[in-house]
Structure 1
């Protein structure tokens, strides 16, 4: 950081650079290393851990105890490296954090799979599947907050999107009509959010929370009053089938995970790239970032701030609605009460952890999806970890990610602040 130094003899003000040591990430890595080491020490497991990569590849078997402690040793070295970087006034490199995370997860899986089997392809496939609603919700959150509106109503947009998709797909027997209905459902929630937050200047967080409660109650009432009595006609959505991409789906491990998916998953891949490119490379993206960072300056150069915010909040709602459609058009064969189970708030955490960047937020959503699927795998492996803790695992990962690695980051400067012209 730069600070003003005392004036020189000739009266000029000199600038001095004050360097800071960033110890937050090293401390988090050290805490994770200690916890993992304590787990291996006080709950030792022996035997052989087997990893099944793919049908075309041979299984990999490793000694559980030896491999676990080798991983701990590597984690200690990486933690020491991060402390050295911080001491030398350097921020720990991103690759170091990623390698640390991969090694820590591998070591934990080795310990958990003692005399058991870890299906790697199934684990990754499940992580992708569980991440899809989070990625769409995170993209909606990024667009909304980049435009200056805090989108706390992602949960409501996911839930109404899921309800609309189930209803319309059941009536028309067409999943694409259900998908369009989900986008409309997400836009309806976004419209109310935009109207109150932008037009009537109501606190955006309060509006978002109220909308989540309203949509939860509304969909619950409609489910009991309309879908349950007419389940065969109104709650039997036609779902998307998997589309296997020739050649690419035959790639070991990666092929079945990425290239044997449904239309919504392929749409997710495209949407992440389009939003990331458009936000930084197009006139639309420049205007969105301008009204979210400095609306007065944007207004000065002729950008209509509030209409720009309004339409982008609507766009964000449509994208989040697609995430809701995944629940009823891919994951579950029918709509159920509160079936989103708070994933909208985890998507909001992914936005913060991803520093309001589409690609980083999507990767954060994938991390949370992986943690959720890991919880399911640990239950199957019958690890000695209490089941209550395993249910907490995705949320613990969310808290650690946001509090430990996000740090004191700055979002869009005007996010959450209404703009009054003049």
Structure 2
């Protein structure tokens, strides 16, 4: 076992955290930091979620903390996990455990007092790092420190066995590779993911969607997605994603960077780039992945040909800012426009109503709606001029309408 030291950082001094660790016997070696907090802390990244591993059983954890007035929620009690709430922030606390049996989706566990046994059931070496909350001393049982330094994502033990225990680890592998790793991938890990890709079909579509969207939300997952597509990893669950989609994704990422859009990567839009430009296909996949209604609508809109428009502003006006930006980023010709400022442009409201048309001498009825519509279309074509110009447009439309009626 090798050791290192977790650098000091503000997240290690959140209100109440020292007291929590003291009550869970951290100074006596009963409780340690684990997983992402240790990994990200060693990399100097921001740590949002704190997880603790402990030798204490869940009932004792609950008893000790509630006795000190700390709120405890049994969020995963069947797997030995409870969540303490400190200053409105969660801290997950899980009892050391070992798998008795697994079926690729869930595991039957028993508790253990052995840190290495607990580490052995985890997925990747860089996620099986533990640290003393007070001193920051890191315990590493499977070479995670060296892998972290080398930017190598490696399964603990036999990759095929790890995947058989939880099929989702295939998708997690590529997400962690895109976030923390360097290419080429670990040969054994990549081979196991390719060989066992069919096992993804046993997973719920919600779990697949969650992992895929997390991967797509990373700064630039293109290289890793290329590995997945070339290796046929997505073929069992998303056969519609092909190499042509990867080229569209790479172009989308480049266009967003060129446009200087100050917004985080949109995972749903990137999924659209990977899919064939067909709204029906997009709707089918959104339904298959059981995405939210909002996500489904965004996918269908982005994969539907845009309405006729003479300018980027007109497109924004007709379909909304988000949909217009999506359509322009996905389309090579549209993306040549200066779309950066559009993310902060508020489409104006047409300044006239039916009352204004009636005031110009048109009787209430269908003619009012028709004239209001034609006036609005000319207002859009002229680039959304002010209210005075809008009224002049309406006056001209009404005059032409009245002349045509007199001549008929």
Please give the TM-score of this superposition, normalised by the length of structure 2. 0.20
Q: Which has the larger radius of gyration?
A: 2
Q: Which one has a larger percent strand, Structure 1 or Structure 2?
A: 2
> TM-score scaled to structure 1, two decimals?
0.20
Q: Which has the higher contact order (CA 8 A, sep 6+)?
A: 1
